């Protein structure tokens, strides 16, 4: 059975920006089925719409299903995990610039303000990797570290990558690719 990878961009993001096109190509070249999900209303995201979109595109998650999230996409994925049926299992997730707690951005507060049942989300996925930068201007490093600890994730700190965006020069992200190879092997 082939392995599926779902890429979930963040606030104001698109499936074809930053390092997503590079990652999609690298994964497809190695036989993965890759879906870069266009999230609805990325400039004014609504949690219910994002969860419905992920659910509709993934359909049947299983142990050969993997996720890669960027920024707000990480929280959307975790909230999707939280709502999965009891016995559903996901192969793993790699989160880039993920966070937990208040990062003081009112436009996306709905995603982080409501309580998150992290244990329920973790019950569906055992392999997590978090990747964060030491100079992210949107997500304080402390929030990324808390996020990784709450998940029991392998944490990778990148130096000088900002918020991992194209306008900061990040068009390829080998640490995401290597992490996905590790958790999917």
Domain ranges of the chain: 4-184
Tokens of 7: 């890429």
Q: Are 66 and 91 in contact (CB under 8 A)?
A: yes
- pLDDT, tens only, 151-184: 999 999 999 999 999 999 999 999 999 999 999 9
Q: What pLDDT is stored for residue 104 in this prediction?
A: 92
4-184: CATH topology is Rossmann fold (3.40.50)
Sign of CA dihedral 82, 88, 89, 93: negative
* Separation in Å, CA 173 to CA 20, 92, 118: 9, 18, 27
Residues carrying an active site annotation: 71, 136, 163
Q: Are 127 and 101 in contact (CB under 8 A)?
A: no
- pLDDT, tens only, 1-28: 799 999 999 999 999 999 999 999 999 9
- pLDDT, tens only, 46-105: 999 999 999 999 999 999 999 999 999 999 999 999 999 999 999 999 999 999 989 999
């Amino acid at each position: 059975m082939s392995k599926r990878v779902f890429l979930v961009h963040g606030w104001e993001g698109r499936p074809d920006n930053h390092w997503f096109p590079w990652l999609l190509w690298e994964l497809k070249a190695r036989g993965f089925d890759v879906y870069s999900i266009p999230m609805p209303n990325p400039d004014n995201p609504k949690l219910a719409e994002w969860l419905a979109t992920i659910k509709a595109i993934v359909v049947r998650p299983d142990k050969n299903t993997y996720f890669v999230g960027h920024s707000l996409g990480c929280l959307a994925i975790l909230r999707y995990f939280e709502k999965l049926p009891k016995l559903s299992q996901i192969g793993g997730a790699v989160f880039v610039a993920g966070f937990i707690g208040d990062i003081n951005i009112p436009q996306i507060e709905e995603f982080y303000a409501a309580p998150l049942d992290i244990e329920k989300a973790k019950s569906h996925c055992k392999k997590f990797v978090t990747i964060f930068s030491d100079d992210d201007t949107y997500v304080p490093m402390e929030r990324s570290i808390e996020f990784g600890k709450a998940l029991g994730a392998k944490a990778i700190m990148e130096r000088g990558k900002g918020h991992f965006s194209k306008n900061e020069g990040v068009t390829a992200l080998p640490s995401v690719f290597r992490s996905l190879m590790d958790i999917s092997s």
